[in-house]
Chain A
Amino acid sequence: MYNKTQFSDQLYTTIPARRHYDHIVIGSGPGGAITGCMLAEAGRDVLVLEEGGYFDLDDIEPFSIEEMKHKYRNGGLTLAFGKIKINYVEGKCVGGGSEVNSGLYHRTPKDVLAAWRNDFQLKDADEESLEPFFQQCEKDVCISYNPGVLSKASLKLAEGAEKKGWSQQEVPRWFSYSGKMDAEGQAEGVKMSMTQTYLPRMMKAGGRLMPQTRVLKIVQTGGHQVIHCEHQGQRFDLTCKHCFVCAGAVQTPQILHKSGLGKHIGERFLLHPTIKVTALFKEEVNRESMGVPVHQVKEFAPRFSFGCSISTPPYLAMAMTDHPNSAELVNTVWKKMAIYYAMTNAAGKGAVKALPVYKDPLVQYGITQEEKQHLAEGLKKLCELLFAAGAEVLYPSIAGSSPLHSMEDVNKLPASIPAATSNLMTIHLFSSCPMGENRHVCATDSYGKLHGVEGLYINDASLLPTALGVNPQGTVMAFALRNIDHFIKHTS
């Protein structure tokens, strides 16, 4: 396993004396890490800037309060405002979202690629053109299925789907399994996040990384980009010929807005609205170090899909705050409880707007009636599945709602989720700066170069023209590889 001490020569922990680089990458999440790595391995001069700190994988326990405090932006307290407020989380650390997410991998669905080609005039986005990039990503981050004993909570989802005759699948993760099993049969290994894959490669190839550095704005002057930065309260400038903004679907438009650069920036922000339900089973389905649940039900995709969430006692207790009369169950029978979710594909419209004076952007998402109906229908179907899998009681994340003991109770749920009391969340954010040749809606060309702006590129989840209906990191990585490959081939 890599750790940061192995790369101390390539890490800037203070403001560097050298201020000019050929390429500067803003952000070290999947998009930025891949961009930096490919540039460095192509022999290019590159510096990656990251606003968050550098933590090794074993510095902080996954899915813990410490992770929330140190690796999440705003301590995880980020909201998309609208008729229904949607809580979202973003990674803010070296490696970005790849350090804090579950690592579930999907390729881009075929119908989504077709829509991107048709509606956004996105070039070279057919399956055949993308195949080598997906294959490369899958090799680089060891996409693999869990060879050990899977969590019972996750298997309950598969069991319920099979009983209903609905299609379900085990989803692979970016994870390198060692072949060893613990006493309970769980496979041991290392999560192949960016700090274990592309960032070490980048630094081995001569690239440099500077954590704890916030980019305030970019100014274009004399064919160069001047990057105004802040490192531990001290402001300084860097310059480069080519700048890649890879700060994620919220921060990328924020930086570009603050810089006054680009068109259609932050106008089409999308997310996957998600509602949760906590299930109480007759038998134990949960345990200490339950691991990441890997089953998903796609029977009703793209309208909605289901999965199982991290279900540690703190997460369970928080989920049960919507059901105060039953909250004590977490103290006594948490091993019989697990959290599940229904996620709908984005049909609404969001925006990321820079506010004068403030550092943080205003994030808005207008959920549509259609999405509310899909979530309500998804919640009902999920409940149906969980009862089929043996759940005794279900607790939806709707404040003040009654526990559900049977399908009779489920059928009484409203046809559209209530705006005032539904607690929605998401971890999938994208589409704030779509790519494509359709200049009426796209911020960049088909390879991430800002329309009408020289030397400035985007290469992260912001580029995805629409929602995917599946975990987006595989798509983000494949397109990041494709775009930087195109850049390297077409620039000297």
Chain B
Amino acid sequence: MSDFSRREFLKRSAAAGVAGGVALTGFGKNAGASDIVQVGTMIDLTRCDGCRGLDTPACVTACREENKDVFPEPIENIGNYWPHKKKEDWSKKRGLTSRLTPYNWTFVQNVSVEHGGKRYDLSVPRRCMHCDNPPCANVCPFSVQYKTPEGPVIIDHDLCFGGAKCRDVCPWGIPARQAGVGAYLKIAPKLAGGGVMYKCDLCYSRTKKGHEPACVEACPRNAIIFGEKEKMRALAHKRAAEINGYIYGEKENGGTSTFYVSPVPFEKIDAELMKQKAAQPNPKAPGFPGMPVNVKNFTETANGIAWSMAIAPVAGIAAAAGAAYKTMKGGGNND
């Protein structure tokens, strides 16, 4: 080892560095390029009146009709989530349309808000926002929830285990869980899993065929507009400028495919919704989302760390090269 030269050291360093770097950082992934057009919706709260003449808003009825074949049919005797003595079973409340459930993927919230000396009675259709960087899909432990190239975020009902982590990391707690159905029943239903998560998929199967989502098609006042996402964004900005209004969904959670336009600030709508939620028999029950403004994406903190992670292999290579050089110069072969 004593005849070990600087040239040889550099040669070996380069080879080992390349091997280590390639081994640990992987190859570049080009996942962004696509000719597929992203879709989205613009929801104009100056137009939506919650179909006040109807028992159930038309969008809700249309959604339920469209998805009735996908709604869960759980087993008869659904077990509790051991060791807890509870389970999430909405199968006896299939008719409920006042919140999100596994049988009701969209609903309308009604709020009365004062702004600029004027009172506004607003109806707000709610469902999955189809986020640009959906934490629900990103952190699913089994990656059975995903964002399609067109934008809608979809749950694979056949593989979902119903842990409900997606709901925990969603700023709006949108996905709804039904126990007694799905893959977990085949593994260890008493010990792990909780059913299947359900939510709006923006009628992906319909839109793939060129149709509009059922809620959009059913809306009698054209309050929900569907189309190319960037056009919806532009439409939202145009409409907000016309009414001197506000947009929700463009920045929230890092950006979404749903753009609400309102004549009143969404902070006021959110405050009213939170009041309504607090007044419910069980305020902690999921399925009644607020509208927190500028809410952060769950993965934001971790993504900040990810950039720091890139330093790790560089530091490892530098430290190893230094240590190897030192030990080899010292003649040590037993380090």
A in complex with B: no
